[in-house]
Structure 1
């Protein structure tokens, strides 16, 4: 191998993206998050602009993460709503849900949920079964392929979300977290 070839390969290699993902190195501070959360609660009544700064940050982070999740699901040939259905089914303690529970968890109509489940059955990601006590009830459970696909999507999502989060400042992360805590009524 000539010296020019080695130099050319080194130049190409230096342009390749590195697979190491920087992780946000500065730890979050529970005290700062608590103060920001309290300030957000107070600002909601007295200083709307300060409150909406936090809301905007939280919504930005949520939307960006949801977009990453949707894009990764699509790369595996799964519609984002179908991916959410898989998450709800697999995330249930029994790893199965009734079709109407899938509808409720996704905030869609039962008819649309039934169509979505049919699509997932066709892709062999879930199976249907009738209820043991009530044959009119249909349950949906993950297949091994569905679980493996969900795990692969999750690994891909983790890589991209880790990179995104590493780009946020500590203040942005804490601000977004404090508003999310406010939304769910959590207190530290």
Structure 2
């Protein structure tokens, strides 16, 4: 590179560090979830439905932070594995309502300690104050952005 070409500084960019950190965290949790036949997206959907009461695919997509296509694909896979069921909406028959099956709930509960340990692994690298600050800063970076 000659002196006239501007330098970007990939390893100095916030985006690089966020992306790299996300990949490392995701890879570690994916390896743990695989033991229970789950993906990270599938796990997030099970949590969205069970813990946060998300019922329709659009709400689930927004809550998890993935697009509708990825949500539909994951819902089909979870349904094929008997972890969720989908039915016509009770109040609006044009909608789809997602619920966990007993097997889905059991699998989610079995995987929960692995995911908790994964988060503890990374949280332990920070003080309580650093973790709170990091969450605040990441929320600020993504505020108002589409997921």
In the alignment, does 2:59 pair up with 1:83? no
Q: Alpha carbons of 1:135 and 1:83: their partners in 2 closer, same or farther (altered >3 Å)?
A: same
- Once the 2 structures are TM-superposed, how far is the Cα of residue 69 of structure 1 from its aligned partner? 2.4
Name the SS of the counterpart of 1:139 in structure 2: strand
In the alignment, does 2:115 pair up with 1:157? yes
Contact 1:130-1:136 at 8 Å conserved across structures: yes
Give the RMSD, CA atoms, in angstroms. 2.9
Aligned twin of 1:108:
67
Q: Normalising to structure 1: TM-score of the pair?
A: 0.54
Question: Which sits farther off after the overlay, 175-184 or 145-154?
Answer: 175-184
Q: Alpha carbons of 1:165 and 1:103: their partners in 2 closer, same or farther (altered >3 Å)?
A: closer
Q: Which runs of 5 or more structure 2 residues have no equivalent in the other structure?
A: 1-12, 141-147
- Whichever of the two has the greater Rg, that structure is 1
Q: Normalising to structure 2: TM-score of the pair?
A: 0.67
The structure with higher relative contact order (CA 8 Å, sep 6+) is: 1
Q: Which runs of 5 or more structure 1 residues have no equivalent in the other structure?
A: 1-51
